[in-house]
Structure 1
């Protein structure tokens, strides 16, 4: 059984080639490193400007489907993904001020930043870390991460958020593995022509084959209903309608450029 997550003493930082999306300088959260530091109320979303896709957990599908196409990647690491833009390195939901589009759901992967879990080599321990390159800490004691060398309520909140994210992520990977096992995922690409005439090709993702899904035997559907997976599949189908909004937004941005 895996040990519960914790805020721990310092460990060696991860190498640059091991960094996940957005993260550049991950270090363990500890009292010595955070002494005399306060967590800023906000760092904005400038860090997410140059990505057009982020990981998405199944628990988010219903809300995310209203804004983002939800697609999948079955290999090498099973994942669900939210498409944020139709051009490489362009997030259509971050404006010139580094703010996320108002009244739009923000994926948990984005909201988690600058915090993240680091898993031990044996997979039995998760340690709360922070990206020191995020500029999220400032001098002061208004919003400390540690009080008298013990994690503050803010640090505990970050720990709980990352723990919930990790649980949801593992459950989502199980769902994607099952999609692959049932041979429902098919490679796809979107051929897009913007209103101004620019042609784009968005590739490297997979969709659920609707015909194969509809042909699943009843015992599989019953099992999926119990697991909450049917709702995830239907949210995926509904989300594909969001491609039209992305194309419209990309076209408007093209006119302004």
Structure 2
């Protein structure tokens, strides 16, 4: 039985157990066509490998704090995901981040004194278990099946992309290019605009002021196109806002204070 949600686990994960040839010999995985775990999540981690594909659909922002990470913004307000319906099914064309497609799997260290990563999964999901239907995770010899090998490969590629993303963010910070973001969106018939803060973005002014050697470096190592992709994607924030308007998912705007 899965334990209570662990605050130290990443978002979505309630528990984590290693895939074990004895305990999970009869486990199967069913296909799913919805992601109810995602429908109330407005921002999802994104790797730099996904920037080009994602920027057609979602704004790419950075989380606030000392160690920012790229995020795909699927809604402007907490608990709002404009791309999914109430059942967790996609409303239309969208980009689903690899972080979401990886769930409930991930590679994790089982022991703090050992850097070896093991394939683990969240046992609280209802599409992995001892079913009559679905694809087996292990064969009759208790060896990984092709579907499990594919899951492992995807998780390995995700970890590699995450490491590249970590280096990208480290370089952005060292260059002093990240600033606090803010966007104000005015709606007709509303005196007060909707103001969104609490995220990071690249400072375009500082980007233009980079020394020639710094600019040459980020151009040669591939950072510059990624930065521009991030900046272009921010235009989609107003489209996400409009989707929230159409779906009736806007917070109340505080009324202006009465005149003294």
Is TM (by shorter chain) over 0.5? yes
Give the number of equivalent residue pairs.
246
Query: 1:117 touches 1:128 (CA, 8 Å); kept in 2?
Result: yes
Give the conservation status (yes or no) of the 8 Å contact 2:5–2:14: no
- For residues 3-152 of structure 1, the aligned pairs below 5 Å read 16-42=6-32, 44-73=34-63, 75-119=65-109, 120-122=111-113, 124-138=115-129, 139-140=131-132, 142-147=134-139, 148-152=141-145
Deviation per residue, 1:70-102 (Å, 9 max, x gap):
111363333111111011111111113321243
Residue pair 2:30, 2:134 contacting (<8 A) in 1 also: no
Higher helix share: 1
In structure 2, the residue matched to 1:247 is 241
TM-superposition CA deviations, 1:150-177 (whole Å, max 9, x none): 1111111111111111111111111111
Residue deviations 1:99-133, cap 9 Å, x none? 12432111111111111121342462111111111
* TM superposition score normalised by structure 1: 0.87
**Higher deviation after alignment, 78-87 or 200-209:** 200-209
The answer (yes or no) to whether the contact 1:192–1:200 under 8 Å persists in 2 is yes
Give the SS at the match of 1:191: strand
User: Where does structure 1 lack aligned partners over 5 or more consecutive residues?
Assistant: 1-11
The structure-2 alpha-carbon separation of the partners of 1:109 and 1:195, relative to structure 1 and needing over 3 Å to count, comes to: farther
Q: Is the CA contact 2:19–2:121 (under 8 Å) kept in the aligned structure 1?
A: yes
SS of match in other structure, 1:134:
coil
Kept after mapping to 2: 8 A contact 1:195/1:251: no
Shift of 1:240: 0.6
Structure 2 contact 64–198 (Cα < 8 Å) conserved? no
Counterparts of 1:74 and 1:93 in 2: how far apart (Å)?
Answer: 23
Contact 2:178 2:203 in 1 (8 A): yes
Aligned-pair Cα RMSD in Å: 2.5
Unaligned runs of 5+ in 2: 251-260
SS in 2 for 1:204: strand
Q: Which residue does 1:180 correspond to in 2?
A: 173
Give TM-score, length-normalised by structure 2.
Answer: 0.86
Structure-to-structure mapping, 1:151-230, within 5 angstroms: 151-194=144-187, 197=190, 200-230=194-224
Q: Which has the higher strand share?
A: 1
**C-alpha separation between the residues in 2 aligned to 1:242 and 1:179?**
22
Residue pair 1:74, 1:180 contacting (<8 A) in 2 also? no
2:30–2:133: 8 Å Cα contact kept in structure 1? no
Shift of 1:43: 5.4
